[in-house]
Structure 1
Amino acid sequence: MLLHDPVPPSSGVGDVDARCRWLAQRFDAVRKRSATLAAPIGPEDAMVQSMEDASPTKWHLAHTTWFFERFVVADGAPYTPFDPAWDYLFNSYYQSAGPMHARPQRGVLSRPTLAQVFDYRDAVESRMRDRLQRGDLDTRLLDVVELGLQHEQQHQELLLTDIKHAFFSNPLHPAYRDDLAGAGGSASALNWIARQETIIEAGHPVWPGCDGFAYDNESPRHRVLVPAHALASRPVNNAEFRAFVDAGGYRTAGVWLSAGWDMVRARGWTRPLYWSQDCDTEFTLGGWRPLDPEAPVCHLSYYEADAFARWAGARLPTEFEWEQAAAALPVAGNFVDSGRLHPCSPATESTGLQQMFGDVWEWTSSAYTAYPGYRPWPGTLGEYNGKFMDAQWVLRGGSCATSADHVRASYRNFFPSDARWQFAGLRLAKDSA
């Protein structure tokens, strides 16, 4: 079952009608943000695909539109597709929805043009608004609308991380925007916050009447034994990770997992992605900037995060240690909403937990697998999460490219061990004596 945020109790109308109006407002806001994020990207930039794991900006804009056209607009009444050929171009991985263009070849799609993609967005948005305003969507389709909006927010983050990689891969190193705010604040001292062994309730509840959207991979809610441990009060910062680099961390096989060490040698890793060779500057969405020593380190693979933790005499937290700590905290931090588009150090000193949400996704030591009793959503949308539960690791907390209303304590992001182009960092943990 898909869940949704509660509608205002003062609406004075039936739940379905109120939810249609609420989703219509949310639809406009989410779609507007996608257009705003794409605005600095020209037609030439919008079709660049710098690696197989990334997608062109134009494809992100079209695919999120295809989702609404295919799963909402075309559901029910007779419908003529905007362009039948685009069903093949902009399907991502939904095998039960039909064949799709190969992911590594998305960068060859010079046509349709960026202007045609925006025409496509306008046409589908008009039809979506019409259906939402008429109120002819049942609860099942309203759930799909909410999923589509959450899906688009994920692609907004990918749009930013993918264009950053594309611009970094360009020898001219153009900036996505040259007006982004620079570094600010100063990091607190790293403290250890100890917790005793306990049994927690982890995951998102899914029973009827529960408030808040959640993906199927966050359920069912279940009991987990969390051993005694200590969690670092903040993420590892650039200065701390540079000490690892300067100490020869990328040349010390003993702190790396075997596959990670193979990756270091095969790909020539010597520092985090986007750091200059002298480690004094880093490439950001605002171009090259001085490396802020106090800001959370980012663009680390799981291998790098794990190696640093071992070198520091600690480890990565489990996802349940992380969730236990975050569950009592408000979802507040440096998200895409702030407009900074880069991790920053906190503005105030604190001895408690800091930056659990926003700034950087935090790698955990938990493999991305199903919770006990997990059931994927029925039908084609059941392909959304479950089939990727293989050789990936869980990340928690959101980043500076994530929307603030998109994450929660139970949210489970996931990537393979060698992924570096996401805003991913780490928080240390250690076993209690």
Structure 2
Amino acid sequence: MDNRITRRTLGALLVSTGMALSLPALAQNEIKIGYNADQSASGAAELGLSGLYGFQAAIDDLNAQGGVLGRKVVGVVRDDAGAPPKSIQNMNELIDNEKVAAVVGPTNSGNALAWLHIPQQKKVPVISHVATATDITARYAKEPQNYIFRVSMVDREQLALLAAYAVKASKSKNIAIIADTTGYGQAATKDLQEILTLHGIKPVGIEKFGPKDTDMTSQLAKLKAAGADMIITGSLADATAQVLKSMEKMDYYPGLLSTWGSINTPLVNIAGPKLAEKTIFAASTTEDASDRAAALHKRLVAKHPNMPAFVSAAQGYDAVMLIAAAINQAGGTDGPKLQAALENLGAVQGIIKKYEKPFSKEQHEALGVADFHLAQWKDGRVVKLDDAVVKGLTAADLKR
């Protein structure tokens, strides 16, 4: 009897051991890609949430084609709630515990700047799919290997597009700037002054406001008195909505140009759908930009009816596809080899465009001003702007 129990126990142990040994084998057969972005807390959370939908759709497509190198791709998702300490914690968990091959994220530039040293030191490539601060990809540009890449708007580049439009559209060349007092707004003001100088233009006014202010009529009155017929804003969607509401109070409607933050629904929710249509903003793509974009939008909206920001979904999708192409080219997920592959990719089909050698050692931005569109809200949807001014823009107009 004791012998039988021993044999049964031993058999159970062998089965148990066999199962335990199979788990690492299964794990080794997967390729993990991390996602670390705000999906719940800050004003940019809907960009992170939409980016997640695109990230997941790309992984689904890869697995439907047999995975990468014959291995299943698994997304490991973390919400950093817009908080730098949480975002740092997530990065450490994704790299040290989950052993991800690469990370897509974050939403907020401040979070990226708080943890860039982690993937750089641990040699894990990151592709920023939303955060726009110029320094994100530039911080380690002089290192032997820079592990930080981006498929998103870049602040200087999108402001160059807005300035080019303003210069072409302005009849008087009286162009003004209004921005919030955050680091983002003041950096935009500095960039815009420099870019307009390249056009030979000095702003007729530069006004600022607090990020929580709701009445900008006094600032706008000064710009109106200065004769401004085009105004460029440096603020997120909620603040730009307040600028529009203040314009409405004054019945003063110069051309208003804003950064891609205006693609967020707070602009429509606060200003109202009709007033929201009075600003033009930068975007890397729109749902009507191409057949591929339209197909992905239709697919994602069917699954997520309230998806707020298609542009970041497209950027999240393309980030995954670029990582997958690099893993294929590197023949595995070794960090230094993967980083080198990203810098030497050939053609990769994305949603925004077909990428032709998107990165190099000197250039870690997959998108530039020539890739960006101007867009606006129409009937509750973001659509591509294609007016006479846009059609008249040339490469020479995009000074930066």
TM-score normalised to structure 1 length: 0.22
* Structure with max Cα Rg: 2
TM-score normalised to structure 2 length: 0.24
Say which structure is richer in strand: 2
